Each structure stands twice: as structure tokens, then as C-alpha cells.
Amino acid sequence: MVTVLRATWPLLLGILLLMVGNGMQGTLLGIRGGIEGISTGHMSVVMSTYFAGFLLGSRVVPNLIQQVGHVRVFAALGSLISSVLILYAAAPHWIAWALMRFLIGFCFSGVYITAESWLNSSTANDSRGQAMSAYMIVQMLGIISAQLLMNTADPAGFLLFVIPSVLVSLSFMPILLSTRPAPQFSTLKRMSFGKLFETSPLGCVGIFLMGGVFSALFGMASVWGSSKGLTVTEISAFVAAIYVGGLLLQYPIGWLSDHSDRRAIVLGLSVLGCVAAFGAVLLQPGIWGLLLAAALVGGVANPVYSLLLAYTNDFLDQSDMAAASAGLLFINGVGAMAGPIITGWLMSLLGPDGFWVYIGLLLALLSVYTGWRRTRRAAPAHDQSFAVIAPSATPVAVEAALENAGSDDASRE
């Protein structure tokens, strides 16, 4: 791992700064929206547009890279991100925020694709798995660190919009100044959704539901905290707890999934997350209870996402895994777009508890569907090892992680 870090630290540092900037703007908008008097329904639209932009970017940016190259695309998207992060404070209106948030999502998708391509090409085959693991850890650490920075200034002011803009601008330096040449980029082949559903109904339905869970956690947690009346420190701690839970549980659950039926683990985790979500509604705990609920739901959401990808790939040949994963990422994106809007609608009906009700219902649906699918199909052999994959990863990172997992399987045979 030391060798990997020595070779990739400029890229990982840039990615860390990117994630800090992105994590700050997501939390800050939810808090600032409450200060500006923007309704929960309008804020849900604002948060949803990020995932719409991210989804569009994942489809469009690869073609842009092929036409004009990594460096130009990276620099152009980075400039747009820095500009928009500043403009949020200058135009505190939900329609303007929705348009800017869409643009931010589009740009971050392209930036991640470029950064992940560079990271993938800068490591040798025998160390790529360690590099991708470090990348996923850095992503979560960046978002957790962002929550600490949320407490450095007044969210009603301008400084908290300046900080992520500066961090994102600085993040490009280690990547663009890297001595590594820009990697070759090839568009992933596609798999029809019909064939994908035929291959793994649970994978498709589960990934769609988890897209809704993830977008509610990532997009609406700070909106919920603001409507709940939590302080900035409490909101930032709540968001951090979501990612701390995911960071701590990914690897133990991954090891367990390679030695048992993945569906049983998905079922158990989704029930645990459902209990935690509805427990927060029924018990109405204080801040420490809410932090525990956040850690449990976050600890469920991240591993279940990776488990469903690994389970689907258990039914595929190695040559089809990248195409299937690209299709699953698209399904996840569609679910993510709807998540904040439905969450906002439920919060307008039920109050802040609508946040937990939405997450709990999705996890309950996943529990029921997983249990039913276990009666319809025998458990497959584990042809693909568990790969730690963040729900915000682009097809580039997913393909690299799956290739490494496949090569690990081959080396053990």
C-alpha cells in the first residue's frame, strides 16, 4: 500500500479536495435553504437536479473526452464548478440553485471520470486493487472532513461558499501537474435493460431502490436537519455519521459476502436499516440516537450497493461485467433523481419524519423483494469477489474495481 500511495498521492490528494468541496456544498445548501426560507419541496427539487446532471454527465462526458481530450475537459469542468460554488450565495433562489446544482452534478461526473481514468492508468495491474480501495476510502474521508469545515463559519454568510470553491480549484493542480500522460479512454459497451433484468432481477430492483436511499442520504440529510431544528454542528455530525458507518462496515461485510449467500446479507442489512429508520421515527431519540441511526443506515446503504453489483456479476462472464455495471449505474441514477423529490413530498406531509419514513419504506421493499427472490432462484457460485464501490462512483472506477476483483479470483484458482 505504501508503494501505491507513493505513486498515486497527487491524484488521491486532488480527489480528496474534490470530495471535501462537493461534500461541503451539499450540506451547506440544505442549511442555507432553511435560512433563506426556501420550502422543503423546492429544496427537494434542487437536490434532485444534482443526480440528473450527474447521470447526464456520465453519458455525455466520455464522448467529450474522446473529442477534445482529458486535459481540456477537466479544466473546463473544473472552472465551471468553482464558478457555480461562488454563485450559489449570489443568487439564493430555488430555481437558480436547481439549474446550478444540475450543472454541478454534470461537471462533477466528468471530473470524476477524468480523475478515475488517470488513477486507473497510473497503477500497475498487481496494485490496482489497492489503489481503488484507497480511492474509495479517500472519497468517504473527503465527505467526512467536509462536515468538520462546515463549523468554521456562519452558513448565512459568504465564506462557506468560498472555501469549497477554493478547494475544488486547488484539487486540479496535483492532477493536471502529474507527470503521468493522459490515459486512453474507450466508451463502455452497453447491455440492454431487458437482458440486464433477465440476468438479475434483484440486482436491477435493488440498485434502483438503493439509488433512492443514497440520494435521500446525500441530498436531503441537511435539509432534514434544518427542518428538524438541529444546529450546524449537529447537522454536520449527522452527515458525517452516515459515511463513517459506511466506511467501517464495507470491508467486514465484503469479507462475509464472499463466504455466504449475498442475498442473505442483503436481506439482513436491509432489515437492520429499516429498523433503524423507523426506530428514529417511533423513538424520537436525541442527537446521539440520531447519530446512531445515521451510522446504521449509512453502514447499510454503502455495502448493500456493492453487494448488489457483486451479486449481479456472479451471473455474468467477465467480458459482460463492465456493460452490466454501466446499466446498473444508470438504473441507480434514475432512482437517485426521484429520491429527493419523494422525500421532500413526504416531509411536506409528515414533517421531518418523512425523511426516515422514505428510507425505511425503500429498505422494507428491498427486504421483501430479496426474501421473495431467494425462493425463486438458487444462490450462484461466487464467480466475482466483493469490490468496494461507492454509490457515487462512475463507470470508470466500477470497471477498474471489477477487473481487479476478477483478477483476484483468477489468482486464487
Q: Mean pLDDT, to the nearest integer, of 203-216?
A: 91
In this prediction, residue 8 carries a pLDDT of 67
Residue showing cell 436547481 = 98
Cβ atoms 238, 230 nearer than 8 A: yes
Within its chain, how far is the Cα of 317 from the centroid?
26
Q: Mean pLDDT, to the nearest integer, of 218-246?
A: 91
How sure is the predictor about 246, in pLDDT bands with cuts at 50, 70 and 90? Answer: confident
The pTM of the full predicted model, rounded to 2 decimals, is 0.83
Contacts of 6 (CB under 8 A, 6+ apart): none
What does the pLDDT look like over 252-310, one tens digit per residue? 887 777 777 888 899 999 999 999 999 999 999 999 999 999 999 998 888 888 788 77
Contacts of 157 (CB under 8 A, 6+ apart): none
Which tops the pLDDT comparison, 124 or 131? 131
In this prediction, residue 313 carries a pLDDT of 76
pLDDT at 156 over 90: no
When divided into structural domains, the chain yields a total of 1
What does the pLDDT look like over 323-358, one tens digit per residue? 776 777 788 888 888 999 999 999 999 999 999 999
pLDDT at 410 over 50: no
Q: Can you give the residue range of the structural domain that contains 116?
A: 2-182+191-412
**Cα(290)–Cα(279) distance, rounded to whole angstroms?**
10
Sign of CA dihedral 381, 384, 389, 394: negative
- Residue 98: CATH number of its domain: 1.20.1250.20
What does the pLDDT look like over 103-122, one tens digit per residue? 998 988 888 777 777 666 66
Cβ atoms 69, 354 nearer than 8 A: no
Q: How far is CA 179 from CA 23, 116, 138, 174, 407, in A?
A: 28, 16, 21, 10, 28
Cβ atoms 357, 350 nearer than 8 A: yes
